[in-house]
């Protein structure tokens, strides 16, 4: 018999989790990842046969919010299951070891799993003045990233700091903070932006890497499954937007009736993330549902985007017009779910052209 203890199947058995239960969780994760339910079933079958994966987690210039987000995901869940299943060989916030023993654990894992470990990074890397602004065990973040990245199979950059520089990079960027992809160029890098990212997105990506390999990424290195749609694409207030019904202040009639928050500065139309469907705090709510516009925290340089309460410029069309056209095209075809699939989405995106990332980065 093969040693089941090293496989997820063994872990499931140990925990008394049936395959039916496992399929249920894979279905929910698949739904979040926009996998077809058939693919979710394949993922469930494949996941149980994967071996325990070595993971090294490096935290640089960050607030630990990303680690909080992930470790606070509800239990028992596939998130916690996958997270417990991987072999987290180094994470200086979570591990029991400290000092030399901790660094030794990292070196040991790098040695034992050379070329096979997954490197997760949260936090940006300061490079000004030879990277002196953030060090771990006397080593600069820059040196440590380069050293550990060298023999990694793949790198997952978690959070807006590791993916885009984040808050440390906010003007005037005193430490010269940069992202992982600014430094490492010869390894596959998966970017999972968000301040913090949604927990299930992170485990969903891990599950995908373990079963189907590196997921399909967009031009910014983000998994398309989670970042393919904008908040606006999936926002439940969208019908109000389409009809041009906007709240004008936080306590007017429109706000009370739950109208669109566009004019109050919502960045939903240019923010790619899964908050509108996955939501936060175990699916309780997300900013727009709580009556506040989206800040765009998973987009590059959101902090310097010129004001959370400033409405995005809309070009010459009024927002109502172009969006209604896109929605009507989908509904007329009678294919509700096709409205969101890749090909029709491309059309919808064309209609959304007037609002671009430049609007967000627009310097005043």
Partner 1 sequence: MKTPLNLPIEIAAPSTGMAQAVLHELAGHLQQLIESGKTEVIDLTSLPMSSSDKQQLETQLGKGEVDITLTTIGESRIFETAYSGIWWIRHYTADQHLIAELIEICSVPQIIKSHPADMQQALSRLKNTH
Task: List residues binding partner 1 (CB under 8 A).
Answer: 9, 13, 17-21, 23-25, 27-28, 31-32, 34, 36-38, 41, 48, 74, 76-77, 233-236, 238-240, 256-258, 277, 282-284, 327, 330-331, 334-340
Q: Choose which of 168, 215, 269, 330 interacts with ligand SF4 (CB under 6 A).
A: 269
Nearer to ligand SF4, 11 or 242 (CB): 242
CB of 48 to partner 1, least distance (A): 8
**Closest distance to ligand SF4 from the beta carbon of 157 (Å):** 25
238: contact with ligand SF4 by CB under 6 A: yes
Residue range at the interface with ligand SF4 (CB under 6 A); choices 125-133, 195-203, 258-266, 327-335? 258-266
* Residue 159 and residue 29 in contact, taking contact as beta carbons nearer than 8 Å: no
Q: How many CA atoms lie within 13 A of 36 on its CB side?
A: 7
DSSP H/E element including 157: strand 152-158
| Max CA pair span of the chain | 68
Close Cβ partners of 144 (under 8 Å, ≥ 6 residues apart): 58, 136
Name which position in 118, 121, 167, 235 contacts ligand SF4 (CB under 6 A): 235
Question: By C-beta, is 109 or 275 nearer to ligand SF4?
Answer: 275
| Nearer to ligand SF4 among residue 226 and residue 262 (C-beta) | 262
Shorter beta-carbon distance to partner 1: residue 136 or 325? 325
Q: Kindly state the number of chain residues that form the binding site for ligand SF4, as judged by CB under 6 A.
A: 15
CA distance 156 to 86: 14
Taking contact as CB under 6 A, which single stretch among the options 54-62, 63-71, 201-209, 287-295 is the one that binds ligand SF4? 287-295
Give yes or no for residue 288 binding ligand SF4 (CB under 6 A).
yes
Backbone angles phi, psi at 139, to 5 degrees: -110, 135
Q: Which residue has its beta carbon closest to ligand SF4? A: 268
Give the phi and the psi of residue 179 in degrees, each rounded to 5: -90, 170
DSSP state, residue 304: G
| Closer residue to ligand SF4 in complex, CB, 268/330 | 268
Site map 289..308 versus ligand SF4, x via CB under 6 A: ----xx--------------
CA neighbor of 53 nearest in space, from 93, 82, 95: 82
Residue whose CB is less far from partner 1, 51 or 74: 74
For residues 48 and 64, give the distance between their C-alpha atoms in angstroms, rounded to a whole number.
Answer: 30
Choose from partner 1, ligand SF4, none: what does 288 bind? Cβ within 5-8 Å by kind: ligand SF4
DSSP bridge pairs for 88: 55
CB 312 within 8 A of CB 355: yes
What gap in Å lies between CA 167 and CA 237, rounded to an integer? 29
| Burial class of residue 304 (count of CB atoms within 10 Å of its CB; 0-12, 13-18, 19+) | middle
Q: Which does 174 bind (CB under 5 to 8 A by kind): ligand SF4, partner 1, none?
A: none
**CA end-to-end span of the chain, whole Å?**
67
Among 26, 56, 142, 231, binds ligand SF4 (CB under 6 A): 231
- Judged by beta carbon, residue 40 or residue 118, the one nearer partner 1 is 40
Residues 6+ apart with CB under 8 A from 151: 110, 114, 115, 117
**From ligand SF4, partner 1, none, interface partner of 269 (C-beta below 5 to 8 A by class):** ligand SF4
Give the CA radius of gyration of the chain.
Answer: 22
Which residues share a beta bridge with 139? 136
84 vs 130, beta carbon nearer partner 1: 84
Closest to ligand SF4 by CB, 82 or 235: 235
Four-residue CA torsion sign, 349, 307, 158, 273: negative
Q: Which residues would be at the binding site for ligand SF4 (CB under 6 A)?
A: 231-232, 235, 237-238, 241, 260-262, 266, 268-269, 288, 293-294
């Amino acid at each position: 018999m093969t040693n089941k203890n090293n496989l997820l199947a063994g872990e499931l058995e140990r925990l008394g989790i049936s395959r039916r239960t496992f399929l249920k969780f894979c279905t929910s994760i698949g739904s979040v990842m926009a996998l077809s339910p058939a693919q979710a079933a394949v993922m469930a079958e494949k996941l149980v046969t994967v071996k325990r994966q070595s993971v090294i987690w490096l935290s640089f210039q960050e607030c630990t919010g990303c680690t909080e987000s992930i470790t606070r995901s509800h239990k028992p869940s596939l998130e916690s299951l996958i997270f417990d299943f991987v072999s987290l060989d180094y994470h200086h916030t979570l591990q029991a070891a400290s000092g030399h023993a901790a660094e030794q654990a990292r070196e040991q894992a790098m040695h034992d799993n050379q070329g096979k470990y997954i490197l997760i990074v949260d936090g940006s890397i300061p490079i000004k003045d030879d990277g002196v602004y953030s060090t771990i065990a006397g080593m600069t973040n820059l040196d440590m990233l380069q050293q550990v990245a060298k023999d990694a199979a793949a790198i997952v950059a978690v959070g807006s700091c590791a993916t885009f520089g984040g808050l440390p990079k906010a003007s005037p960027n005193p430490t010269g903070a940069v992202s992982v992809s600014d430094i490492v160029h010869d390894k596959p890098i998966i970017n999972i932006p968000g301040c913090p990212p949604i927990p299930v997105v992170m485990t969903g990506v891990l599950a995908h890497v373990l079963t189907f390999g590196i997921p399909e990424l967009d031009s910014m290195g983000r998994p398309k499954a989670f970042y393919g749609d904008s908040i606006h694409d999936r926002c439940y207030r969208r019908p109000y937007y389409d009809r041009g019904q906007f709240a004008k202040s936080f306590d007017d009639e429109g706000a009370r009736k739950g109208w669109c928050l566009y004019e109050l500065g919502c960045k939903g139309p240019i923010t790619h993330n899964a908050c509108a469907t996955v939501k936060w705090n175990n699916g309780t709510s997300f900013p727009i549902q709580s009556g506040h516009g989206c800040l765009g925290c998973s987009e590059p340089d959101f902090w310097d985007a010129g004001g959370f309460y400033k409405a995005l410029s809309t070009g010459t069309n009024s927002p109502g017009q172009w969006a209604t056209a896109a929605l009507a095209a989908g509904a007329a075809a009678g294919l509700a779910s096709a409205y969101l699939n890749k090909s029709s989405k491309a059309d919808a995106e064309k209609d959304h052209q007037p609002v671009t990332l430049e609007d967000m980065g627009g310097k005043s």
